[in-house]
Structure 1
């Protein structure tokens, strides 16, 4: 969320009652009707004025966002501010935490795929070819890993002559071949 957050003890503008048809403020959080209410469709802002007597005697006055003017208390806010306050009021709930954890997992999967399979650096252009690479690259890479392991362990062991690959030179546990007592050749990945 961007923007300045409302103070913890303050009442959000989402608590004001708004008529869904006229989009005007009909009641404050305490239930008082405004003297004047207006909705500007171009700027998408709600404006209302309340009697001074109602606001000064209200138990929620210290937490309310109304501003004092000469004859009344005034409040003005945008549609975006309403949506922001609604979202912020839901943020501390268990359901929000559950959904945010789920979202982190969903966003993590493409990130892992991009890093593991180098999907940002495809050697092709065009949607059809890119889709083909995206769908088959992980499969091909896994097949290459399996093939590389099999090839390195079986190929070298079978094609190197028996004279070099006797028990004292070739270590099957870590797939290394020792030449002349000190040089090692490593097979595998």
Structure 2
């Protein structure tokens, strides 16, 4: 169940869109359907806060270009980086000449387009640019211990376009800033919505079998949650705070 809700502090948080999918469907593939549904009802947001499952360079660019929506969410770590490796940001990329220069000043010998298996827990393959450095350069390199253990030379996987690559690099840097955290913080409210749906509205169980009936149940559940929230707002009842266990309450203040 994909939920979209408002997060204006001056009004109750209301669910504005619901999509039901098979559990195996990747979150990011549903983003276009979610935006299309919101646009059809005049509820498309200028800023859409989502979790990491929806964030991909192509999704961010498509939302910005086609709908004027800023997609904001955490970017997955650089898959070219490990505890001791140089990440992609340590390499200089020449997109026009299709070459990459490593921290030791060596130039790549392979640059080609290919399909690469996903590493985010979902099936499928993504288009990438495969880059490899020569073994004769990597073997005697003084930075080898900090770069690669491969006998055939260091490899990199780049996004298929310069625009996508630079967008992700910039997003990873912004994710570390306090300003980004401040803007993204309201997204935590949707976790409370899911918890409320499970605890108070039986969201985890389907009353009937079948996609259509399950989808209808989700719509009724979202409507009931909205009515409950409106009633609480009109009655002046504030949302409950985050629950803290007795053990966690013993932790000294920072």
* TM-score when normalising by structure 1: 0.44
**TM-score scaled to structure 2, two decimals?**
0.35
State the structure with bigger RCO (CA 8 A, min sep 6), 1 or 2.
2
Q: Kindly name which structure, 1 or 2, has the bigger radius of gyration based on alpha carbons.
A: 1
